[in-house]
Amino acid sequence: MTRTTLATLALLTAVVGSACSKPSADPGAETRAEGGSADSASPADRPVKPAVCGRVLFVSSPAEGFDQIWSVPAAGGPSSELLRSGASVYPAAISPDARSLLVLRSEPLPEGKTRDRFGMLGLTPDSAASGPAALAAAIGPKDIGLRNPQWSPDGGWIVFESDANSFRDLYRLELGSDALLRLTDNPEGNFEPAVSPDAQRIAFVSSRDGNAEIYVMTADGGAPMRVTNSPGDDTEPVWSPNGETIAFRSARDRERGVDIFMTDVAGAEVQPALREGPREPSVIASGVAFSPDGSLLAYTELVPKRGVATIVIVRADTGELVARTGSAGAKTVDEQPTWSGDGEHLVFARSQDQRSDIVRMRADGSEQELLTDGAGVYWLPRWVADPQCARVAPLVVPVAGQG
């Protein structure tokens, strides 16, 4: 079972670049999604489009030195360094109230291992303007391998995978007390936890029965239940916002390649995410993300024989193709889609010719715009819906702030 992401394959083959400066203002940098068209209606007839709101955090990988976290207005504007550290740092996950960023600080060790530490960074609307923070406040275990952290919906705890006491197992960290609970204990490995919207269950990947399958357990590690059963690996579980469906990555269908599938929690009904619309055979899909209202799915679709990858957007209920990025002849890798809080836009990383940028587009694939300068290696975007931004779901008051 491979733990390598498309970002690793696409961006670490030749990491060159420079620090961020300004976003591209060149209209020629904008491209239309496949099947997209310009809006020809008169101004009076055009619907009012929601304003682009919030900020986009991303990783900047300079030619020399460590990966660092930067910020850019989602509507476009100058980029600014958010966090400066003596090690590589990554935006792991944004808190449910959008006021904190869980940061992963990572230092390489021999034999492919890492020495990691979680940190918490405040995300006030003016945090980028105040200059880069020296170091996020450290939390949880240290000097071990840490991966795939996920917040609970109320912001009271996080769950993550670690090699602290085994190959890979899952742990739950209470943020108020720093209490640590081991959730799994299997020598074959447990990976990629995903907390259900009601915080009662955790979906995860386990190889305990011979190959990687999707399981669900209670939030305290009890009653593990196998959801999928396939000869090919099933990985990357993601809950729908209503908690009724799990989307995941699977190698179960040789003709489809490694594709995105959906299932009910019992595993009784499994079907491809894309069921209506053109697709290429033998793709490698990854990075699935539900829109905030659960109506759409976005994910990356890599076509190995052509060396390109696109962002695919499908309707969650019908499997109908809504949009696919890229254009004929383009040799780009589009990946890591992330939704805005209102579900009207996405951002993603686009790499080409040893460079990568952060691109914003509408949910129908139109109005693609570079948010970075086209001269560096920028990736792993995270959309921060600031308090004044429209959101499908209301802001969640963290447990620590409930008295």
3-state SS class at 301: strand
What pLDDT digit, counting tens, does each position of 364-397 carry?
Answer: 999 999 999 988 999 999 999 988 888 886 544 4
Instruction: Give strand pairing partners of 241.
Output: none
Question: Quick check: 134 pLDDT over 70?
Answer: no
Place of tokens 């940098």: 29
- What's the pLDDT score for residue 371? 98
What pLDDT digit, counting tens, does each position of 141-181 carry?
Answer: 988 999 999 999 999 999 999 999 999 999 999 998 999 99
* Nearest Cα to Cα of residue 296 among 364, 250, 385: 364
How confident is the prediction for the chain on average, in pLDDT? 84
Question: Quick check: 335 pLDDT over 90?
Answer: yes
253 Ramachandran zone, left/alpha/beta (phi>0; psi -120 to 50): beta
Place of tokens 């949910």: 363
Q: What b/e readout covers 273-283, taking b as 16+ CB neighbours within 10 angstroms?
A: bbeebebeeeb
Tokens of 398: 């963290």
- What's the pLDDT score for residue 151? 97
Answer yes or no: are the C-beta atoms of 176 and 399 closer than 8 Å: yes
What pLDDT digit, counting tens, does each position of 30-40 carry?
Answer: 433 333 333 43
Instruction: Give the C-alpha separation, 323 to 244, whole Å.
Output: 24
Answer yes or no: are the C-beta atoms of 354 and 59 closer than 8 Å: no
- What's the pLDDT score for residue 137? 81
Tokens of 40: 């020809």
- What's the pLDDT score for residue 83? 84
Helix or strand run (H / E) with residue 6: helix 6-11
- What's the pLDDT score for residue 135? 62
Higher per-residue pLDDT: 19 or 214: 214
Q: In three state form, how does the secondary structure of 56-95 look? A: EEEEECCCCCCCEEEEEECCCCCCEEEECCCCEEEEEEEC
pTM: 0.85
Instruction: Give the C-alpha separation, 193 to 293, whole Å.
Output: 21
